[in-house]
Amino acid sequence: MKGHLYKVTLEHLQDAKGQAVDDSKLVFETRNHDDIFKIVEMMKGKMDIDETDAIAFAVGLKLFGEVMLNNRDVELFKQFKPHMTDFMKQLKKQ
């Protein structure tokens, strides 16, 4: 499979009440046709959101978008594709 290979690690540090959470971790590898690090750098300062939100947004959007591309025959993704296309066009204008 072509594309950039990433290892994603998500650690749950605190619950909704601020209590520490131990040993809750997701780790997986995934591919993406884009260089996510370059996308993250482009997103910083592009929108009127803080840097942490920009990073989370860029990473989440790229992971979601790649899943949609890889599973374009799934009915839910077929229905959502026109909205995603419009959204991406608006985002690129920012």
Question: Are the C-beta atoms of 5 and 35 separated by less than 8 Å?
Answer: no
All residues at 6 or more sequence positions from 64 whose CB lies less than 8 Å from its CB, including other chains: none
Question: How many other CB atoms are there within 10 angstroms of residue 62's CB atom?
Answer: 21
pLDDT > 90 in the chain, percent: 85
Q: Give the number of other CB atoms < 10 A from CB of residue 50.
A: 10
Please count the structural domains in the chain.
1
Domain range for 16 = 4-93
Q: Kindly report the pTM of this predicted structure.
A: 0.88
CATH of residue 28: 3.10.20.850
pLDDT digits (tens, 9 = 90+) for 29-39: 999 999 999 99
Q: How far apart are CA 49 and CA 44, in angstroms?
A: 8
How far apart are alpha carbons 91 and 85 in whole angstroms?
Answer: 10
Check whether 1 has a pLDDT greater than 80. no
Measured between alpha carbons, how far is 72 from 93 in angstroms, rounded to an integer?
Answer: 25
Residue 80 banded pLDDT, cuts 50, 70, 90? very high
